[in-house]
Amino acid sequence: MPDKPATKSDRKSEPRAHETSSRPGHVPFASLGISADLLKAVAQLGFEETSPIQSAAIPLIIAGIDVVGQSETGSGKTAAFCIPAIEKVDVGSKKTQVLILTPTRELATQVADEVHKLAAFRKSVHSVPIYGGASYERQFAELKRGAHIVVGTPGRLTDHMNRGTLDLSGIKMLILDEADRMLDMGFREDIDKILAAAPKERQTVFFSATISPQIQSLVRAHSRNPRTVRIEQKNVPGAPLVEQIYYEVRHHAKFDALVRAIDFHDVKSGLVFCNTQRMVDELADALVGRGYSAERLHGGMAQPQRTRVMNNFKKAAFEFLVATDVAARGIDVNDLELVVNYDLPYDAEDYIHRIGRTGRAGRKGRAVTLVTGAGIYKLQSIERFTKAKIRREQVPSIEAVEGRRSDALFEKIRTTLESNDFARHTLLVDRLLELGHTPTDVASAILHHFTPAANNRDATDLPQPVFGNDSAQPEDGHQRRKNVRRVGNNPGNKNFRGGGGARFTKGRPGKKGGRPKG
């Protein structure tokens, strides 16, 4: 692994297979020349294969080449530069060797979390987020202790440079994440100052959703012979005739939003998509813990086990399948009522493949997408490329769910009364009436006995998210320049933990076998 950027002569000899404007395919991480420690961390996080931006950019960045990556939010670009950044670190030195610039404190925290997870088997690699609104003293202490990778916002980084608390003399790699947003927020002056202070013999990597003239100017001023990796969406067919809705929720409320959607629409058969094996395992356990019959499907399972699960799902042996995109290929179930994007897919094509599994054979289908924070930008990108309208709805309230349950029960009772198929129960009702109870009391008591009580997911209503501009403000003391477009926020990316170790059983609360054993 080279410690310094490749020279011009080195770059001429580099294979150019990855320099392309077409969408690269998904490949195993092991094919990208990543070290065993990083591969182990990737596997622990549950990723089965690369996203297009990862397969295109990682080999180039590892080779020491300056890269300009154009890819939408949610494409997996964070890992595309974090993996090579960790590979670049020489743990024998305490100097800061990788500097990652982000537009907001939220994104700085998110990227720092990603570095921490990917460096799980390289405990000697130290990283620290640096952003406004946090204690200077604490940040200085972290920097003095030795931070190989620093992730920060431009304003706070320049403050530390001015105070002499951030030393850039050891920088090998400098990364600008969401460079277009940083320019939109008026950080060009700070960026120029930081880049000028770093060693000239360094590698510079830019990631941006758009390549504007301003971005091109920045690249020309601060990089050498950069290679462009542009991930373009294919022209995808129109979305199938499926009702498409999304809920905008806080990250911690995603699971409750999921079960509300299931109960509100009275779903008996659904497919829930997650992006990692780890998330699939946690969500499947959580669903079983709430009384649903659910199974999991991902690439970490043995093939015979995967085949058994797929066959049982087709036979409706359980209600919900939680799966990754890779493992779900080949699933063909005609009466699937609901597809849920628990995690947003990487691109529009994956979205089409996911929701296309419902609404088949002339049946009505429904697709629900859960969106948190800056994921709304990715959803808007999916809308543009699919030319489909994805309607925003509020997460169903407790009252709405109970109303649907009451309506469904009313219809069942009305149908039974009209069919006159209840004669065998009249003797029991007569006995109860003889005790002096009114018909209304008897009917209410029977309904109370046979209707499952609302379980703990309905204890409180879900708070509605507030995604304003506050969370995307630049750090304290660095206001945006005038006449600049205001932008949304970037959330953290903390994994959901949903009960572990539950065995899969059939049924729901109130049904026999509807709770996990053990």
Cβ(207)–Cβ(181) below 8 Å: no
**For residue range 34-75, what is the model confidence (pLDDT) as tens digits?**
999 999 999 888 887 888 889 999 999 999 999 999 876 667
Query: What would the pLDDT profile of 135-179 be if each residue is shown by its tens digit?
Result: 889 999 999 999 999 999 999 999 999 999 999 999 999 999 999
State the residue for tokens 């997650």: 274
DSSP string of 383-430? HHHHT---EE-PPPPHHHHHHHHHHHHHHHHHHHHHHT--GGGHHHHH
For helices 154-163 and 188-197, the axis angle rounded to 10 degrees is 50
pLDDT at 450 (0 to 100): 64
Q: What is the pLDDT of residue 370?
A: 96
Q: Side by side, which strands form the sheet with 127-130?
A: 127-130, 149-152, 98-101, 173-176, 203-208, 67-70, 227-230
Q: Look up residue 152 and give its amino acid.
A: G
Angle between helices 213-222 and 188-197 (to 10 degrees): 20
Domains of the chain and any CATH numbers: 8-230 (3.40.50.300), 243-397+461-472 (3.40.50.300), 398-458 (no CATH)
pLDDT at 236 over 60: no
Q: What is the pTM of this model?
A: 0.56
Positive or negative, the CA dihedral 444, 448, 451, 456 is positive
**What's the rounded Cα separation, in Å, for the pair 328 and 191?**
43
- Given a contact cutoff of 8 angstroms between Cβ atoms, the answer to whether 226 and 175 are in contact is no
pLDDT, tens only, 402-439: 777 777 777 777 777 777 777 777 788 788 788 888 88
Q: How many CB atoms sit inside 10 A of residue 6's CB? A: 19
Looking from the CA of 277 toward its CB, the CA atoms found within 13 Å total 15
DSSP state, residue 125: -
pLDDT of residue 73: 61
* Higher per-residue pLDDT: 487 or 397: 397
Q: Which residue has the higher pLDDT, 413 or 227?
A: 227
**141, 145, 149, 151 alpha-carbon torsion, rounded to 10°:** 0
SS3 272: strand
**Angle at the Cα of 420 from the Cα atoms of 419 and 426, rounded to 5 degrees:** 150
The pLDDT of residue 243 is above 60: yes
